[in-house]
Structures are given as structure tokens and as C-alpha cells.
């Protein structure tokens, strides 16, 4: 709950007063949406593009969110970003993308041509300096001061293989905002990953509804039964309070006591599970990693399946690291980083980016609102490539209807819930979502930090609260402002 000792904070529409209850109106009320547009998005680091999309000097890409377009460009002196409006009469100097359309991401190269406004042809170089005004003599001198007609810079930072932009010059850096999770992801060489494919879709749901479908594993049993079934009859109900949940290294799926099977059978089930995850996501656990995992035998492992499974995972990490490094891929020593810098199977990077690492490869998501009840959801498969063998960068997502059979099966299952949940929120008498305090804590923590932005808490306090989101997937509701 937000207190305002100095009376200086804004009031939040439909605020979270009980951390276990999220008011339904936050997901469709126009005033709440407008508050986010005004007080959240202009102050946070937004994942604007993947760094590899700006390979050569002059490469540019447009990033738009909540009506604000920014051009990100690789210059001879690093990556820069500019607000996308001609200094004459405001036409976007490049792109003008319609998010959610089949061409969701405008891009090009300006090394030779610079940027040319399509309306009256004013020009700028890649550093945003104006290089041409047609008919200069037609304007008063004071209208054409050099500084005044250069493109307006936007803050941009490169971190973790992505370019991030922020409209707020006072916000802490990307790394300071993310906190310790950034160091852990760096230890996993996240900056060297490359996209092998990208999909996008418009979901008829509030952006937070779409995001929150990926903030807990509580839904796996019902929504992704194929991922749950291999455990039935062998594993205890993972939600049984008598079962002690353990986390094991970076492959930290919740695993629970195994009964009535041999070590060999337990290992075979893990192989099957990894293959289902890999096929279900068309990545995350990359097919090449599944191949290696399948080749790792149960022989020599403990007779006790509860010991054999973590032993086997350790061996799989070792073999993946060694096998892929031999091919020249910049894979970290997975076993070492699982000890030194363990990361979660889902890492949420506030406010709208996710990384889902299991071994070396990852899935990634980015979600942007298109209105109170619509959003654009993108997903990437990220993996390592040997140096010099990287594929051409994926410049645009393949945009499909959310119910397209072309989506990998797991996101398709998630997408089947999201639009209907949005409908359910409007039901008479449905005032709030009730959250598990132990497993759906990330939703509450995320939403309460959002309230912090809407209320106008100091950036320092907001960043400190965000640090608690690292590793919070499937975790508890926490005290944020203490
Ligand atoms: S609006 Fe850009 S040159 Fe006129
Ligand atoms: Fe899911």
C-alpha cells in the first residue's frame, strides 16, 4: 500500500490495497490505462530491439510504444536513439510503423542517404544532425538554429544483447534498474545470444493479463497438461503441502520426490520432459541441447532416483557446455554458473520483457499495449552460434493471428486463455483477482511497483523494489517499500 507521508504522491486509480487482490478495473479502465501511458512508460527502460538487428553502421530500426516512436541507430560512435519527429512539422523521419500489422518493425540503413523526411525533404545524418533544409531562405533565421533542428536524442543503452530506451533522463541505468538479475544473466552470456526466429501476435487482452500468464507455473497442470502428465503417478502432487520443493541449479524446474521408479526410468522421464518443452516452445531447451541430453546415460548414477536426477542434470549441463563450446559456441560453463549465478526458468525484466533460460538457449517475450484491451505480444527463440556462423538477424517478427496453428504448442495453449480471461474480468461481481500469496507473488509485486510509478515514488525506491523481481517467478508476495 502506498503511503504519502509528505502528501506529494499522486492518487492511483483502482490501487492495490490488499497485495493478494488485484482490482479487475486495472485491466480495462481507460483512466488506469491513461495513467500508465503518462506515468509508467515514459520512466522505464523499454527493450527497443535486439542489438544484432543493428549490425552495420547506419542500420536503424523503429521502436514504438503507446504512441511514442523512437529511431534506434548504430553510428560510428555507438548506438543512439532519436525521437521520431521531423523538426519542421513533426512527420516521422523514418518508419511510422503500425504495431501489430504484418510489418511490425520498420528498419533500414541510413549510412549513405541519412534520414530524409518524406514530407518536405529535410535531412539528418545518423548522429541526428540536420544536413539539409530545402529553401532555407524561406525561413526566419531564428527558426533554423542548428541545435533546434537536430533530431531530439532519446536515452539508449545496450545491455544483454538488446538496446533499451528510456524517455526519462533521471532514471537509473538499465543495470541499476534491473539489479542483481542483470549480473546473473551476464554470467550466462545472455549478451552473446542471437535470435533464430521471432513471432508476433495481437492479443485481445490488456498487456498485463498477457504478461501475468507467464509469471507463475501454477497454470501448468491445467493449461499445459502434456508438461505435467509425465509426472503423474510418479511424482507427488507438486502442490501438496507435504512435499518439499527443491530447486536445482539453473535447470530449476520444480522437482519433487520420486517414488516407485528406478533411476533409469526417472532419467528417461526427464529426457521426455525436456523434449516436450523443446518441441512445445520450438526452442527454450534447444533441439541441439535435447540431443545432447538424450545421449547422457543414467549409468553410474545413484540408485536412488531422487539423487540420480540432479546428478544427471549436472552431467547434461557439463555435456552441453563442452559439446557446444567444441562447436565454437560462446556457451558459459553451465555447471559453474548454476552454482555461482543461478537463474530462474523464467526471468521477468520489468516492465515488459521476459527471458526463459533452461540450459544455454532461451525464449524471450516482449509485450506492448495497443489500448486498454489489446496488446502486441512478441516471442523470440534465442541461442548461441559459433563466431562467424551467426544467421542473418531476424528483422521482423512473423505476425500471426493468436489462434494460429503455426504458433508452437505451448504459447498456443497460453494464448487460448488470455483473450477469454479478459472477457471474464468484465463479469458482474468480479471485483478483483485473488492471488496465491506463495506462488503468484510476482503478479502482485509487479502490479504494486506499477502503482509506485503511477503514484510518483522516487526512482531510487522504484529501482530498489524492482530488484526484488529477479528470481521471483513462482515466488511469494514480498514487502516492496520497507
Ligand atoms: S515535416 Fe519534415 S520536412 Fe516538413
Ligand atoms: Fe504457460
pTM tops 0.85 = yes
Tell which residue, 197, 181, 162, has the closest CA to residue 382: 197
Ligand 2: centre distance to CA 410 (Å): 6
Q: What is the pLDDT of residues 404-432, one digit of tens each?
A: 999 999 999 999 999 999 999 999 999 99
Beta strand 432-434 with 68-75 is: unpaired
Nearest CA to ligand 1 atom 3: 120
Tell me: pLDDT of 259 over 80.
no
The span from the CA of 127 to the CA of 38, in Å, is 28
Domains of the chain, start order: 21-42+180-215+344-467 (3.90.380.10), 46-166 (2.102.10.10), 220-338 (no CATH)
Lowest mean pLDDT among 164-178, 235-249, 319-333, 445-459: 235-249
The response to whether residue 155 sits with its C-beta less than 6 Å from ligand 1 reads no
Work out the mean pLDDT of the chain and round it to a whole number: 91
How much of the chain exceeds pLDDT 70, in percent?
Answer: 91
- Provide the pLDDT for residue 14: 98
Q: What's the rounded mean pLDDT across residues 64-84?
A: 97
* Bigger pLDDT: 96 vs 435: 435
The span from the CA of 369 to the CA of 383, in Å, is 27
Tell me: pLDDT of 253 over 60.
no
- Provide the pLDDT for residue 182: 97
Q: In this structure, which ligand is nearest to the CA of 408?
A: 2
Q: What's the rounded mean pLDDT across residues 118-143?
A: 97
How much of the chain exceeds pLDDT 90, in percent?
Answer: 86
Give 322's Cβ-side CA count (13 Å radius): 10
Q: Are 210 and 441 in contact (CB under 8 A)?
A: no
Tell me: pLDDT of 238 over 60.
no
- Provide the pLDDT for residue 258: 66
Q: Provide the Cα torsion 375, 381, 382, 387; round to 10°.
A: -130
User: In three state form, how does the secondary structure of the chain look?
Assistant: CCCCCCCCCCCCCCCCCCCCEEEHHHHCCHHHHHHHHHHCHHHCCEEEEEHHHCCCCCEEEEEEECCEEEEEEEECCEEEEEECCCCCCCCCCCCCCCCCCCCCCCEEECCCCCEECCCCCCEECCCCCEEECCCHHHCCHHHHCHHHHCCCEEEEEEECCEEEEECCCCCCCHHHHHCHHHHHHHHCCHHHCEEEEEEEEEECCCHHHHHHCCCCCCCHHHHCHHHHHHHCCCECCCCCCCCCCECCCCCCCCECCECCCCHHHHHHHHHHHHHHHHHHHCCCCCHHHHHHHHHCCCCCCCCCHHHHHHHHHHHHHHHHHHHHHHCCCCCCCHHHHHHHCCCCCCEEECCCEEEEECCCCEEEEEEEEEECCEEEEEEEEEECCCCCCCCCCCCCCEECCCCCCCCCHHHHHHHHHHHHHHHHCCCCCCCEEECCCCCCHHHHHHHHHHHHHHHCCCHHHHHHHHHCCCCCCCCCCCCCCC
Cis amide leading into 130 (omega within 30): no
Q: 438 pLDDT band (50/70/90 cuts)?
A: very high
The response to whether residue 437 sits with its C-beta less than 6 Å from ligand 1 reads no
Tell which residue, 260, 221, 266, has the closest CA to residue 239: 221
Q: What's the rounded mean pLDDT across residues 386-403?
A: 95
Q: 236 pLDDT band (50/70/90 cuts)?
A: very low
CA angle 64, 68, 69 (to 5 degrees): 50
Q: What's the rounded mean pLDDT across residues 266-274?
A: 93
Q: Are 182 and 174 in contact (CB under 8 A)?
A: yes
Cα dihedral 235, 241, 244, 250 sign: positive
Ligand 1: centre distance to CA 125 (Å): 15
- Provide the pLDDT for residue 250: 34
- Provide the pLDDT for residue 241: 44
The response to whether residue 119 sits with its C-beta less than 6 Å from ligand 1 reads yes
Tell which residue, 449, 369, 477, has the closest CA to residue 15: 449
Ligand 2: centre distance to CA 33 (Å): 25
Q: In this structure, which ligand is nearest to the CA of 226?
A: 2
Tell which residue, 130, 129, 132, 125, has the closest CA to residue 58: 125
Q: What is the pLDDT of residues 41-50, one digit of tens each?
A: 999 999 999 9
- Provide the pLDDT for residue 341: 93
The response to whether residue 224 sits with its C-beta less than 6 Å from ligand 1 reads no
CA distances from 451 to 57, 157, 348, 361 (A): 40, 25, 17, 33
Q: In this structure, which ligand is nearest to the CA of 119?
A: 1
Tell which residue, 355, 357, 297, 359, has the closest CA to residue 324: 359
Tell me: pLDDT of 249 over 70.
no
Q: What's the rounded mean pLDDT across residues 165-173?
A: 97
Tell me: pLDDT of 121 over 70.
yes
Tell me: pLDDT of 215 over 60.
yes
Q: What is the pLDDT of residues 339-356, one digit of tens each?
A: 999 988 899 999 999 999
Ligand 1: centre distance to CA 116 (Å): 9
Q: How far is CA 305 from the centre of its chain?
A: 35
The response to whether residue 122 sits with its C-beta less than 6 Å from ligand 1 reads yes
Q: Are 212 and 206 in contact (CB under 8 A)?
A: no
Tell me: pLDDT of 245 over 70.
no
Q: Are 348 and 472 in contact (CB under 8 A)?
A: yes
Q: Are 356 and 347 in contact (CB under 8 A)?
A: yes
- Provide the pLDDT for residue 228: 73
Cα dihedral 343, 346, 348, 352 sign: positive
Tell me: pLDDT of 247 over 50.
no
Q: What is the pLDDT of residues 21-42, one digit of tens each?
A: 999 999 999 999 999 999 999 9
Q: Are 227 and 276 in contact (CB under 8 A)?
A: yes
Amino acid at each position: 500500500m502506498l503511503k504519502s507521508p509528505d502528501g506529494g504522491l499522486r492518487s492511483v486509480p483502482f490501487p492495490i490495497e490488499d497485495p493478494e487482490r488485484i482490482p479487475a478495473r486495472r485491466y480495462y479502465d481507460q483512466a488506469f490505462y491513461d495513467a500508465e501511458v503518462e506515468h509508467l512508460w515514459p520512466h522505464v527502460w523499454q527493450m527497443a530491439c535486439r542489438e544484432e538487428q543493428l549490425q552495420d553502421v547506419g542500420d536503424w530500426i523503429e521502436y514504438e510504444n503507446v504512441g511514442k516512436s523512437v529511431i534506434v541507430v548504430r553510428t560510428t560512435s555507438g548506438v543512439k536513439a532519436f525521437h521520431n519527429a521531423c523538426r519542421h512539422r513533426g512527420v516521422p523521419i523514418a518508419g511510422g510503423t503500425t504495431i501489430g500489422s504484418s510489418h511490425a518493425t520498420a528498419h533500414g540503413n541510413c549510412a549513405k542517404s541519412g534520414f530524409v523526411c518524406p514530407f518536405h525533404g529535410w535531412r539528418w545524418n545518423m548522429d541526428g544532425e540536420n544536413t539539409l533544409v530545402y529553401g532555407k531562405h524561406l525561413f526566419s533565421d531564428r527558426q533554423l538554429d542548428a541545435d533546434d533542428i537536430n533530431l531530439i536524442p532519446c536515452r539508449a543503452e545496450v545491455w544483454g544483447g538488446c538496446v533499451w530506451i528510456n524517455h526519462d533522463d533521471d532514471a537509473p541505468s538499465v543495470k541499476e534498474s534491473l539489479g542483481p538479475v542483470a549480473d546473473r544473466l551476464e554470467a550466462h552470456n545472455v549478451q552473446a545470444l542471437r535470435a533464430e526466429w521471432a513471432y508476433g501476435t495481437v492479443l485481445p487482452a490488456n498487456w498485463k493479463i498477457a504478461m501475468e500468464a507467464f509469471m507463475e507455473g501454477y497454470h501448468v497442470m491445467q493449461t499445459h497438461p502434456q508438461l505435467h502428465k509425465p509426472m503423474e503417478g510418479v511424482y507427488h502432487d507438486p502442490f501438496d503441502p507435504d512435499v518439499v520443493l527443491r530447486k536445482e541449479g539453473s535447470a530449476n524446474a520444480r522437482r519433487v520426490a520420486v517414488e516407485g521408479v528406478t533411476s533409469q526410468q526417472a532419467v528417461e522421464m526427464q529426457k521426455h520432459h525436456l523434449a516436450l518443452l523443446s518441441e512445445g516452445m520450438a526452442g527454450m531447451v534447444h533441439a541441439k541441447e535435447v540431443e545432447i541430453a538424450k545421449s547422457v546415460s543414467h549409468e553410474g548414477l545413484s540408485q536412488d532416483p531422487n539423487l540420480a536426477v540432479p546428478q544427471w542434470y549436472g552431467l547434461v549441463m557439463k555435456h552441453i557446455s563442452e559439446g557446444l563450446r567444441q562447436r565454437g559456441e560462446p556457451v558459459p560453463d553451465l555447471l559453474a554458473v548454476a552454482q555461482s549465478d543461478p537463474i530462474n526458468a523464467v526471468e521477468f525484466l520489468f516492465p515488459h520483457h521476459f527471458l526463459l533460460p533452461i540450459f544455454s538457449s532461451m525464449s524471450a517475450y516482449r509485450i506492448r499495449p495497443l489500448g486498454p484491451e489489446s496488446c502486441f505480444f512478441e516471442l523470440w527463440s534465442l541461442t548461441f552460434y559459433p563466431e562467424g556462423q551467426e544467421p542473418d538477424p531476424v528483422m521482423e517478427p512473423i505476425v500471426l493471428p493468436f489462434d494460429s496453428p503455426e504458433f508452437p504448442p505451448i504459447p498456443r495453449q497460453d494464448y487460448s486463455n488470455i483473450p477469454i480471461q479478459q472477457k471474464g474480468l468484465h463479469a458482474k461481481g468480479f471485483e478483483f483477482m485473488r492471488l496465491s500469496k506463495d506462488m503468484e507473488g510476482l503478479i502482485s509485486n509487479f502490479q504494486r511497483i506499477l502503482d509506485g510509478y503511477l503514484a510518483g515514488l522516487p526512482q531510487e525506491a522504484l529501482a530498489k523494489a524492482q530488484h526484488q523481481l529477479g528470481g521471483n517467478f513462482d515466488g511469494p508476495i514480498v514487502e516492496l517499500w520497507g
